């Protein structure tokens, strides 16, 4: 998709958080009302006819557009969070990130087999977190599942899409 206006407003920060990383800063898109409107419209057009009943937002930047899109689609928002952040009983998924082990959780009653789920996060790089989210959502056995990102990084030898695996349609608004 690579909307020109979004591309112009996406900030890159060299050597953050560590030397050699070119960090794509999605906050510059969130602080601009027109960027939010464009992302909202593009996401809605992608998913308006898919029957989405739940949007799973990945902590924490995935909550922003996830909530906006859930409202527009008439769907619920499910928060996928780090351990200890959700108050009720959870289902969890352990996984390895580039810096070591991690875990994510979703409330045990958040999704059921009648749901059509969209998993949303701000960024796809290595794919570790989103693959874990996909494995977690599959435990609920939803009717169908989709996956979306605002930004997908492919220009630095990062092929997160390939790490996700098969069985899910993946879209990104911006690919760099």
Is 169 inside any structural domain?
yes
Is 108 inside any structural domain?
yes
The active-site residue, picked from 14, 98, 113, 162, is 98
Is 148 inside any structural domain?
yes
> Per the confidence metrics, is the pTM higher than 0.75?
yes
Q: What CATH number is attached to the domain comprising 105?
A: 3.40.50.2020
User: Tens of pLDDT along 2-27?
Assistant: 999 999 999 999 998 888 888 899 99
> The domain containing residue 171 runs over which residues?
50-175
22: which 2 tokens?
């070119």
Is 150 inside any structural domain?
yes
Instruction: Specify the range with the lowest mean pLDDT, choosing from 6-10, 63-67, 162-166.
Output: 162-166
For the chain, what is the domain count? 1
How far apart are alpha carbons 17 and 19 in whole angstroms? 7
Is 41 inside any structural domain?
no
Is 117 inside any structural domain?
yes
Q: Is 61 a catalytic residue?
A: yes
Is 11 inside any structural domain?
no
Instruction: Specify the range with the lowest mean pLDDT, choosing from 48-62, 97-111, 148-162.
Output: 148-162
Identify which of 47-51, 97-101, 153-157 has the greatest average pLDDT: 47-51
Is 8 inside any structural domain?
no
The active-site residue, picked from 59, 61, 72, 135, is 61
Q: Is 161 a catalytic residue?
A: no
* 53-63 average pLDDT score: 97
Q: Contact, 6 vs 18, CB < 8 A?
A: no
* 142-161 average pLDDT score: 89
């Amino acid at each position: 998709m690579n909307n020109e206006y979004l591309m112009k407003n996406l900030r890159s920060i060299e050597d953050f958080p560590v030397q050699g990383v070119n960090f794509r800063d999605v906050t510059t898109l969130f602080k601009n009302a027109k960027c939010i409107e464009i992302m909202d419209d593009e996401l809605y057009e992608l998913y308006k006819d898919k029957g989405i009943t739940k949007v799973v937002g990945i902590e924490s930047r995935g909550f922003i557009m996830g909530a906006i899109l859930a409202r527009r689609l008439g769907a619920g928002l499910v928060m996928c969070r780090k351990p200890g952040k959700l108050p009720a009983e959870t289902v969890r998924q352990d996984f390895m990130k580039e810096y070591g082990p991690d875990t994510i959780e979703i409330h045990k009653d958040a999704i059921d087999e009648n749901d059509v789920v969209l998993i949303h996060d701000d960024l796809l790089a290595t794919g570790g977190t989103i693959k874990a989210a996909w494995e977690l959502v599959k435990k609920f056995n939803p009717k169908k599942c989709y996956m979306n990102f605002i930004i997908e990084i492919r220009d630095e030898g990062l092929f997160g899409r390939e790490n996700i695996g098969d069985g899910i349609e993946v879209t990104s608004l911006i690919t760099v």
